[in-house]
């Protein structure tokens, strides 16, 4: 803590010298002025006394007037009046106008004066400390408010990041589950193809897998028969109808014949009316996929599904991968039939020899 500065103001020089001797051994920095104007000049010149002790009765500018002007420049300073005149009016002026903290009489008691100065210094120091602490508190509150705002922003940003990451993870998990289900379906069909089965049984297995993986309602397989006038499914599979669900309309025969003619897959979507008021409208999707061999069209597989959205591109791709396995099964069945027919022909030739 810096050395306290005390300014004594009195028009009598011997009084100033007496005060100087009184506080010679104390750890104070003393300033002496013979008039109020001289004291103001010191203050305006940069001096900032902690304590100002002024005589009341001085020519030109009395103590109350001087202290009032010094108060405007140094409002934090502790001001005291030291006078030999017991004038109540002067005391009131000094307190009200000059903002005096204490009023002391001449002749003074040395111990009483030194105690008053020491108390004033402590009060001044406490005032400064309190002001500094208040300033620090205001600054810390401001920093805390900024930190709180920044923390809230960071929490919001982190929450958004976590929400985005969660949604991405959820999407990825859904994709992985669908992919795993597709691979399990492909493996099921592949294991079935490793052993000999009737073609209809194999096609039913493929259709069951399609319904399970894609979540379709019905699926059917049509083979390219020599008699084009007949269009009957070789295999048909349906999922259980949910309670309140609508029956699936059959795919128009001309649409199936068009696929046999063009060899191009297509997806037909139509809007279904809600069963009850307030329920969301449903969409019926019919997917028709040609089953292609090496150099011929082997058949057509149809898939029907109703839901709140049409069949997605990924679901169409998955159906296409199962249709490729169906093409292998049909091709193998035809090859087996040809081999059996060839064997019968050879048996007939050998029997005639």
Indicate the range of 88-102, 141-155, 268-282, 318-332 predicted with least confidence.
Answer: 88-102
Q: Is the pLDDT of residue 84 over 80?
A: no
The pLDDT score that the predictor gives to residue 307 is 87
Give exposure, 255-272, as e/b (b: 16+ Cβ within 10 Å). ebeebbeeeebebeeeee
The whole-number average pLDDT for the span 134-150 is: 90
Q: pLDDT: is 148 or 333 the higher one?
A: 148
Q: Which CATH superfamily is domain 5-134 in?
A: Response regulator (3.40.50.2300)
Residue 86 has what pLDDT?
59
Distant-in-sequence, close-in-space partners of 330: CB < 8 Å, separation ≥ 6: 199, 203, 223, 291, 293, 298, 299
Residue 178, pLDDT > 80, answer yes
Quick one: tokens of 20?
């100087």
83/45: higher pLDDT: 45
Confidence of residue 320 (pLDDT cuts 50, 70, 90): very high
Which residue has better confidence, 60 or 274?
Answer: 60
- pLDDT, tens digit, for every residue of 203-224? 999 999 999 999 999 999 999 8
pLDDT(193) > 50: yes
**Tens digits of per-residue pLDDT, 285-295?**
999 999 998 88
pLDDT band, very low/low/confident/very high, at 26 (cuts 50, 70, 90): very high
Q: What pLDDT, in 10s, does the model give residues 232-243? A: 899 999 988 655
Average pLDDT, the chain: 85
**What would the 3-class secondary structure string for the chain be?**
CCCCEEEEECCCHHHHHHHHHHCCCCCCEEEEECCHHHHHHHHHCCCCCCEEEECCCCCCCCHHHHHHHHHHHCCCCEEEEEECCCCHHHHHHHHHCCCCCEEEECCCCHHHHHHHHHHHHHHHHHHHHHHHHHHHHHHHHHHHHHHHHHHHHHHHHHHHHHHHHHHHHHHHHHHHHHHHHHHHHHHHHHHHHCCCCCHHHHHHHHHHHHHHHHCCCEEEEEECCCCCCCCCCCEEEECCCCCCCCCCCCCCHHHHHHHHHHCCCEEEEEEECCCCCCCCCEEEEEEEEEEECCCCEEEEEEEEEEECCCCCHHHHHHHHHHHHHHHHHHHHHHHHHHHHHHHHHHHHHHHHC
Q: What pLDDT is attached to residue 228? A: 57
Q: Which class would CATH give 196-240+250-352?
A: alpha beta
Residue 341: per-residue pLDDT: 46
Break the chain into its structural domains and give their ranges.
Answer: 5-134, 196-240+250-352
Tell me the mean pLDDT in the region 293-318: 90
Q: Comparing 5-134 with 196-240+250-352, is the CATH topology the same?
A: no
Residue-level pLDDT at 339: 47
pLDDT (mean) for 127-138? 90
Contact 313, 267 (CB under 8 A): no
């Amino acid at each position: 803590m810096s050395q306290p500065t005390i300014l004594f103001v009195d028009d009598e020089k011997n009084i100033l010298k007496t005060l100087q001797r009184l506080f010679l051994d104390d750890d104070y920095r003393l300033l002496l002025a013979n008039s109020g104007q001289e004291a103001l000049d010191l203050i305006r010149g940069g001096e900032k006394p902690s304590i100002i002790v002024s005589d009341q009765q001085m020519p030109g500018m009395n103590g109350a007037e001087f202290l009032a002007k010094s108060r405007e420049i140094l409002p934090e300073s502790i001001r005291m009046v030291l006078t030999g005149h017991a004038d109540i009016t002067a005391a009131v002026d000094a307190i009200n106008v000059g903002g005096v903290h204490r009023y002391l009489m001449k002749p003074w008691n040395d111990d009483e004066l030194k105690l008053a100065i020491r108390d004033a210094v402590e009060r001044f120091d406490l005032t400064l400390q309190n002001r500094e602490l208040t300033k620090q508190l205001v600054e810390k509150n401001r920093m805390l408010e900024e930190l709180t705002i920044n923390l809230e922003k960071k929490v919001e940003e982190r929450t958004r990041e976590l929400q985005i990451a969660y949604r991405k993870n959820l999407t990825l998990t859904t994709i992985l589950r669908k992919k795993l289900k597709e691979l399990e379906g492909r493996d099921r069909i592949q294991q079935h193809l490793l052993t000999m089965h009737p073609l209809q049984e194999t096609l039913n297995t493929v259709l069951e897998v399609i319904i399970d993986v894609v979540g379709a309602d019905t699926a059917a397989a049509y083979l390219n028969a020599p008699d084009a006038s007949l269009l009957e499914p070789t295999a048909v599979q349906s999922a259980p109808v949910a309670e309140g669900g609508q029956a699936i309309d059959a795919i128009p025969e001309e649409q199936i014949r068009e696929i046999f003619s063009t060899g191009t897959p297509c997806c037909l979507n139509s809007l279904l009316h809600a069963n009850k008021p307030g329920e969301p409208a449903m969409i019926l999707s019919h997917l028709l996929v040609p089953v292609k061999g090496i150099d011929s069209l082997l058949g057509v597989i149809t898939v029907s599904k109703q839901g709140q959205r049409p069949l997605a591109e990924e679901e169409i791709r998955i159906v296409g991968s199962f249709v490729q396995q169906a093409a292998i099964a049909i091709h193998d069945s035809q090859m087996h039939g040809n081999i059996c027919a060839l064997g019968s022909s050879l048996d007939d030739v050998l029997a005639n020899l």
